[in-house]
Amino acid sequence: MASSRTFSVLFLFVLLAALLSGCSVLSQPNNVEVITPASGPVARASDGKYENLYPGKKSYPVTCQQDCYPRVSDITCDDSTGLCQFTGSNAAPALSTGFTVSWLGHASFLVSLPDGTRMLIDPVSGQFDWPIDWLHALAGGITRQEPVWPDSVTDVDAVLYSHLHYDHFNKADIDRLGNAPQYFVHQSTADYLPQRGLDVKEVSWFSGYQLGPVSINAVPAHHFNSRYWVPYIYNDDEQALWGGWLLEYKGHTLFFAGDTGYSKHFGDIKQQYGTIDICLLPIASYYHAEYGAWYRYVHTTPEDALVAAQELECKVMIPWGYGNASWQMGDHSSHSALRRLLKMHPRVNASQSLLILNEGDTVSL
């Protein structure tokens, strides 16, 4: 382990690098269009920070109490590599929505339409942004097995970001994707993107933008959005909004929840948009020995996600957040959340149609 003096020198170096990179000026400012509902932008709290629709203490309809991570025959793991795969029966329901969904790993999805329109959601193909990735490696922090993405992922029409946390937003991927796509972010987020002439749509909750045949709507999530410039030392303190996305195409809907805890906002989304065809819901990162209940406050457990799917009347639920390329932030193992989901599914909502994907899988619904 490095001495405290060595760590201090490294920390100061990384801090200086972060400040220098933050101060660099590029020649092309982004073209930003702000889209708000008729009633005006989402209100901030009195201290100027954004807040959730339903803050405060939570109660949860269902909680797994014991034997929450049983071994199941439908998940096969390689003892030599530690890599796991879901190998159970997994027939996709015949919905005929026009949506084709590819799970790239963790929270990253590629959604395609019959006319060739392609949308990336929360693309993060590597680790953290530099120099944060380097600092985390030095400190022995979170590491991730990087997913393998096909080259065609860069050829997209739109890129949607749910929030600014490093496992959902990476500037290196924006550099890789370039100026061709339109970028969709939540309120007060546009300034966080690299200034390189990007076409940015900054959308408030319950507002939408028509991109060819698909309407892209911003919806609430129960989370937070502090962007750490220097880990554990300085962040922007909730100055940008977070949320999910709802896509509408020819009368059909696809909902990506973003990182979220369970709250009444799911009911608000159902009231606004009706029954949801495809729900991409997070099921991981809800447990942490040190932070305790707070992790569940901002991340759904598998049973919370099942209850949310019931409230949204999802015709099919596709879970995410687990997997070989996940960050395993507080999780017991790469697929522990999936084990818990499979255990709790018959107890919470046995009629809910589940579609379990492995990283890299593609399904047309």
pLDDT exceeds cutoff 80 at 38: no
- Sign of torsion over alpha carbons 355, 255, 52, 333: positive
pLDDT of residue 18: 47
- Listed in sequence order, the residues at least 6 apart from 24 whose beta carbon sits closer than 8 Å to its beta carbon are none
**Ramachandran region, residue 238 (left: φ > 0; alpha: ψ -120 to 50; beta: rest):** left
What's the pLDDT band for 6 if we cut at 50, 70, 90? Answer: very low
**Phi first, then psi: what are they for 347, rounded to 5°?**
-85, -30
Question: Phi then psi for 300, rounded to 5 degrees?
Answer: -75, 135
In this predicted structure, which of 191-205, 317-331, 339-353 has the lowest mean pLDDT? 317-331
- The pLDDT assigned to 129 comes to 74
Cis peptide before 213 (omega within 30 of 0): no
pLDDT confidence of residue 152: 80
What is the predicted pLDDT for the residue at 10?
47
Domain extent listing, the chain: 4-364
Comparing CA positions, the residue from 122, 141, 121 lying closest to residue 132 is: 141
pLDDT of residue 27: 67
The total of other beta-carbon atoms located within 10 Å of residue 45's CB is: 11
Instruction: Name the nearest CA neighbour of 85 among 94, 76, 93.
Output: 76
CATH class of 4-364: alpha beta
Tokens of 79: 């003892």
Tokens of 328: 């395993």
Q: Answer left, alpha or beta for residue 53, where phi above 0 means left and psi between -120 and 50 means alpha.
A: alpha
**Distance from C-alpha of 58 to C-alpha of 286, rounded to nearest angstrom:** 14
- Residue 116 pLDDT > 70: yes
Helices (H) and strands (E) in the chain — how many of each?
A: 7, 18
Report the pLDDT averaged over residues 191-202.
95
Average pLDDT over residues 247-268: 97
Contact 25, 195 (CB under 8 A): yes
- Counted residue by residue, the chain has a size of 365
Q: How far is CA 81 from the centre of its chain?
A: 26
How much is the pLDDT for 122? 96
Report pLDDT for 327: 82
pLDDT band at 344 (very low <50, low <70, confident <90, very high): very high
Q: Give dist(CA 163, CA 31) in Å, integer.
A: 19
Do 330 and 291 meet the contact criterion of CB atoms below 8 Å apart?
yes
Residues 6+ apart with CB under 8 A from 56: none
pLDDT value for 239: 86
Is 145's pLDDT higher than 80?
A: no
What is the rounded CA–CA span in Å between residue 241 and residue 7?
33
Q: How far apart are CA 221 and CA 108, in angstroms?
A: 17
Start-to-end C-alpha separation, the chain: 51
Q: What tokens does 236 get?
A: 């922007």
Strands 182-186 and 199-203: parallel
Tokens standing for residue 303: 């049973």
pLDDT band at 352 (very low <50, low <70, confident <90, very high): very high
- According to DSSP, the residues that pair with 207 across neighbouring strands are 218
**CA distance linking residue 87 with residue 312, whole number of Å:** 28
How much is the average pLDDT of 14-40? 68
pLDDT at 236: 64
Instruction: Please report where in the chains the tokens 């890599």 appear, as a residue.
Output: 83
The answer to whether the Cα torsion of 12, 14, 16, 19 is positive or negative is: negative
**Band (330; pLDDT cuts 50, 70, 90):** confident
Q: 356-365 b/e with 16+ CB inside 10 Å = b?
A: bbebbeebeb
Q: Is the pLDDT of residue 358 over 50?
A: yes
Residue range 281-298, pLDDT digits in tens: 999 999 877 777 888 999
